Amino acid sequence: MTRIGYCATMPDEVRKLAAERGNLNVYRALAHAGPPFAGWMLAGRAALTSKVVPARLRELVILRTGHLMRCPYEIAQHTPMAEGAGIGSRQLRALAADGRLADGGFTPTELTVLEMTTELVTTASLTPALLDRVRESLGDERLLEVLMIINRWSGLALMINALDVDIDTDTHFSMPTDDPH
């Protein structure tokens, strides 16, 4: 099977959105989607610039999702972001699919959210008791945004893995600026 190559030309709107976060292989692969790619990139910006879920919690969820989805690309791109959000090597090890979350020294809220991430990604559902614990810790707005983060990065991992996107060796993801809208 031949994998999809990287898109050499992108519409200006898409090029601008991709350039904001780096000329990454994942964007060059997904740019073949054409117009829907621009909307997908805007949704990604919104997820990454939202003030509802703190950056540290967002990166914990993204990395745990990346590990559970066995997506080295996501892990490689988001590990520096996680470190920048104060996540240390002990916690990074605990986030691995075979890591023990209880050994990570996470706050009770972080641990509950990571347990939810694990259960959702590995079983495709949540027990009502765990959902209630997360809702109690986060409230409805943060809970829903965390679920959207899990959805986005697990779906992205599926595409990256299916397309066998190469890990960028010379370009790293950079955070977009705050959403201008």
Lookup result for tokens 């641990």: 111
Tens digit of each residue's pLDDT (9 = 90 or more) over 120-137: 999 999 999 999 999 999
Whole-model pTM over 0.75 = yes
Q: Which amino acid is at 36?
A: P
Lookup result for tokens 């370009």: 171
Q: How far apart are CA 77 and CA 37, in angstroms?
A: 19
What local confidence, expressed as pLDDT, does residue 181 receive? 45
pLDDT over 50 (residue 1): no
Q: Which amino acid is at 38?
A: A
